[in-house]
Amino acid sequence: MAGRSALNRGAYVEAALEVIAQVGVDKLSMRNVASRLRVSPMAMYKHFPTKDDLLAASLEEFIARANVVPDTTLPWEQWVEHAAAGMYEALCRELSWVPLLGSLRVGEQAITVTEAFVARLREAGFTVEQALQAYFAVIQVVVGAVCLRSSLDARPTAEPGSSGEDSRTAKTDNRSLQAADSIPGELRSFLKRDQIAIGLPLIIDALRVKLEEART
């Protein structure tokens, strides 16, 4: 009874993140977020003029909570590996964010991460140019790794919660890699490797060479 009404942005974002954790970003709807708060779907449109606005705010919070910036004083290679692993794991936990990464607004939290990354690499001796290239190369490899990884495991499929089963998805659950047995064995075992261990080491190797070249 104490001040339950007058919901603010934070409450909606919180509810959105809960919905996402349970059913994935792609099945989040204005209606199911609202019903979790026992509120009319229309109530949200005062705070978020569009579903994309709600998603952008939720992504900001998701990035903030993922907490991918290592605060230790590791050597730069390990610092980068650590940060990349953090991003990779966070995105793997919520695969459904990936498609939206490019299409939502670049927010405060994303910029904070960028700046931390660049600062650490500058400290290690890279130029601003090089540090930015390194940062985006790492992001590319992380996003790519998550995209490819997603072909290997189905969605979590937590229990539907309240309303009836979603008849729309029932049929598509055991999709993906149906054609797997026609893939050459070596390719298959490669697909099963931790995807982040494929591209990232190459990026770091190249950066190390660049740094050594600059030192001589």
List residues near DNA by CB under 7 A.
5-8, 28-32, 34, 39-43, 45-47, 49-52, 163-164, 166-168, 170-172
Q: Which does 180 bind (CB under 5 to 8 A by kind): a copy of itself, DNA, none?
A: a copy of itself
Select 4 or 168, whichever has its Cβ closest to a copy of itself. Answer: 168
Residue closer to a copy of itself (CB basis): 72 or 186:
186
CA distance 91 to 97: 7
Q: Identify the residue among 31, 93, 105, 122 touching a copy of itself (CB under 8 A).
A: 105
Q: Which of 20/146 has CB closer to a copy of itself?
A: 146
Between CA 202 and CA 111 the distance in angstroms is 25
Cα-based distances in Å from 42 to 6, 30, 50: 14, 8, 11
Tell me whether residue 10 or residue 201 sits nearer to DNA (CB atom). Answer: 10
Q: What share of the chain is helix, strand, coil (3-state, %, to 5)?
A: 70, 0, 30
User: HSE-up of 167 (CA within 13 Å, CB side)?
Assistant: 1
Q: Which stretch binds a copy of itself (CB under 8 A): 36-44, 76-84, 157-165, 180-188?
A: 180-188
Distances (CA, A) of 164 to 40, 96, 171, 211: 20, 22, 15, 58
Question: Does the protein bind a copy of itself through residue 207 (CB under 8 A)?
Answer: yes
